[in-house]
C-alpha cells in the first residue's frame, strides 16, 4: 500500500503530450464509419437470431464454431447488398399496398356516388349492369338523319342491339339531353324516336354546342351510374366505327387501371375572337402562340372505369374549357394516367381506310379532319362502311 502511494507522485510528474485536433474530414469519416459498422452489427444480430446454423434456441447456440465463423464471414461480405434488396422489396410492397388502397377507395366512392344518383343523371338509383364497354354517340336534336345513317351501317338495331349488349357486353346508345324548353316540339319528336328505336341515353342536360364540356361530364356520370363497364367511349355521330376493332383494341388494356385511349394531339391555343375553337381562357395556357397539353381528339376516345368514376365523383368541381376534348384532357392531366396514342382511331375516309383494310390493318374509326368528322356523313356513311367496314360478324369473334 505504501509503495503504491509513493509511486503516485512520479506518475503525476510525467509530461502530458498535447493531442493534435482532428480535422473536419477525419471527423466526418469517423461518423460515416461508425454508422456503417452499426448497420452491419444490427443486421448481423437480427439475421443470426432468425436463421442459419447459428440460430439461438432457448438461449443455446446450435452449430459448431466453424459453421458460425463461415456464416459470419459470408454475412459480412453480402449483407450491404441484401439490405438494399430488402429496402427495395419493402418499397415495392408499400407501393402495391398504396395502389390497392387507392383502388378500394375509388370503388367505395363510386358505390356512394351511385347510391346518391349524382347530379345531372337521369337514371334511377338501381344496381348498375355489368358490361365490357359503353359507347356513347354524341348527337343533337337536328341530327335524325345522321343517326339513321349509323343505324343503317355500324349501329345494330332492335334485337341485334340487345343481343350484343347481353352476350358481348357492348352497350351502344345515342347520348342527348333536353331542349332549352323541356317538353317542347324537339323533345316530343325525340320521345317518339326513342319509343321506336330504344337506343338513347337521355341526360339531365340542356343541349347546346357551347355546353359540350358539361354534356361530357354528365354523360360519364350517367353512364357510370347505369353500367359497371371496363371502358366508356364517346364518339360523334358523324364518325364511322368498326365495333370489332374497337373492342379488340380495348381488350388489350383491360388489366391496366387508368387508361386514356385516342388519337393524341397538341393543337394551338387560339386566342383570336370569332375563329372556330376560340379559347376564351387562352391566358391560362401561357404566352400567345402556345399549344395545349397532349389530349385525345374529340371525335372519339375511350377511358377506363377508374377514370370515368373519377369524373363521376368530382364532376361538380371539374373546370370546363371551351373545347370538350381539351376539358377532358385537363381533368386527367394531373392524374396517374396512361395516355395511349392509337392512330387507328383517326384514319381518314377512303381511300385511306380502304387501303389499310386491304393491307390487313382495319381501322377503328374513320373521319375527315377538315370537317372534324365525315364530310357530308349522311350521304357518304354507307359508302365508307362498304369500303372500310370490318364485316357484320367481326365483333362477335372478339374475346372480351
| Residue 343, burial from CB neighbour count under 10 angstroms (0-12, 13-18, 19+) | exposed
Percent of the chain whose pLDDT exceeds 70: 73
pLDDT per residue as tens digits for the range 215-253: 999 999 999 999 999 999 999 999 999 999 999 999 999
Query: Averaged over 391-396, what is the pLDDT?
Result: 90
Give pLDDT, residue 29.
55
Bridging pattern class, strands 200-206 and 170-178: parallel
- For 280-324, write each residue's pLDDT tens digit: 898 998 888 788 999 999 999 999 999 999 999 999 999 999 899
Quote the pLDDT of residue 17: 47
86 band by pLDDT with thresholds 50, 70 and 90: confident
pLDDT of 82: 76
pTM of the model: 0.73
Q: Which residue has the higher pLDDT, 1 or 37?
A: 37
Per-residue confidence (pLDDT) for residue 9, from 0 to 100 = 42
pLDDT of 74 higher than 80: no
Residue 46 has pLDDT above 50, yes or no: no
pLDDT for residue 26: 52
Specify the higher pLDDT residue, 102 or 47: 102
pLDDT higher than threshold 70 for residue 123: no
pLDDT above 90 as % of the chain = 58
Average pLDDT over residues 63-84: 56
Taking only the tens place, the pLDDT of each residue in 179-215 is 988 889 999 999 999 999 999 999 999 998 778 999 9
Whether pLDDT at 43 is above 60 = no
Q: How confident is the model at residue 90 (pLDDT cuts 50, 70, 90)?
A: confident
Query: Averaged over 321-339, what is the pLDDT?
Result: 95
In this prediction, residues 147-170 reach a mean pLDDT of: 97
Residue with the bigger pLDDT between 29 and 132: it is 132
Amino acid at each position: 500500500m505504501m509503495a503504491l502511494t509513493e509511486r503516485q507522485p512520479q506518475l503525476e510528474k510525467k509530461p502530458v503530450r498535447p493531442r493534435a485536433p482532428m480535422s473536419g474530414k477525419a471527423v466526418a469519416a469517423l461518423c460515416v464509419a461508425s454508422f456503417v459498422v452499426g448497420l452491419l452489427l444490427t443486421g448481423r444480430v437480427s439475421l443470426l437470431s432468425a436463421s442459419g446454423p447459428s440460430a439461438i434456441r432457448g438461449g443455446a447456440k446450435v452449430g459448431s464454431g466453424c459453421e458460425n465463423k463461415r456464416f459470419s464471414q459470408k454475412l459480412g461480405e453480402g449483407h450491404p447488398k441484401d439490405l438494399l434488396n430488402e429496402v427495395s422489396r419493402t418499397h415495392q410492397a408499400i407501393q402495391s399496398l398504396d395502389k390497392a388502397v387507392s383502388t378500394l377507395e375509388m370503388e367505395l366512392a363510386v358505390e356512394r356516388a351511385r347510391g346518391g344518383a349524382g347530379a345531372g343523371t337521369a337514371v334511377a338509383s338501381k344496381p348498375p349492369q355489368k358490361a365490357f364497354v359503353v359507347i356513347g354517340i354524341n348527337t343533337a336534336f337536328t341530327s335524325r338523319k345522321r343517326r339513321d345513317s349509323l343505324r343503317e351501317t355500324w349501329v345494330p338495331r332492335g334485337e341485334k342491339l340487345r343481343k350484343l349488349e347481353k352476350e358481348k357486353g357492348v352497350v351502344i346508345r345515342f347520348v342527348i339531353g333536353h331542349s332549352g324548353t323541356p317538353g317542347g316540339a324537339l323533345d316530343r319528336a325525340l320521345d317518339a324516336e326513342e319509343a321506336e328505336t330504344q337506343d338513347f341515353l337521355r341526360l339531365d342536360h340542356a343541349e347546346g354546342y357551347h355546353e359540350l364540356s358539361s354534356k361530357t361530364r354528365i354523360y360519364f356520370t350517367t353512364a357510370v351510374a347505369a353500367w359497371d363497364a371496363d371502358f366508356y367511349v364517346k364518339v360523334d355521330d358523324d364518325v364511322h366505327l368498326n365495333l370489332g376493332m374497337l373492342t379488340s383494341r380495348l381488350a388489350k388494356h383491360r388489366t391496366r387501371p387508368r387508361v386514356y385511349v385516342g388519337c393524341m394531339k397538341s393543337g394551338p391555343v387560339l386566342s383570336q375572337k370569332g375563329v372556330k375553337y376560340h379559347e376564351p381562357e387562352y391566358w391560362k395556357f401561357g404566352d400567345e402562340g402556345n399549344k395545349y397539353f397532349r389530349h385525345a381528339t374529340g371525335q372519339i376516345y375511350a377511358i377506363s372505369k377508374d377514370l370515368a368514376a373519377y369524373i363521376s365523383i368530382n364532376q361538380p368541381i371539374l373546370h370546363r374549357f371551351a373545347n370538350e376534348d381539351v376539358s377532358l384532357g385537363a381533368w386527367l392531366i394531373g392524374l396517374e394516367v396512361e395516355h395511349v396514342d392509337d392512330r387507328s382511331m383517326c384514319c381518314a375516309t377512303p381511300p385511306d381506310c380502304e387501303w389499310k383494310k386491304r393491307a390487313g390493318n382495319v381501322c377503328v374509326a374513320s373521319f375527315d379532319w377538315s370537317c372534324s368528322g365525315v364530310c357530308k356523313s349522311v350521304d357518304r356513311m354507307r359508302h365508307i362502311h362498304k369500303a372500310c367496314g370490318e364485316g357484320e360478324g367481326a365483333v362477335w369473334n372478339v374475346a372480351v
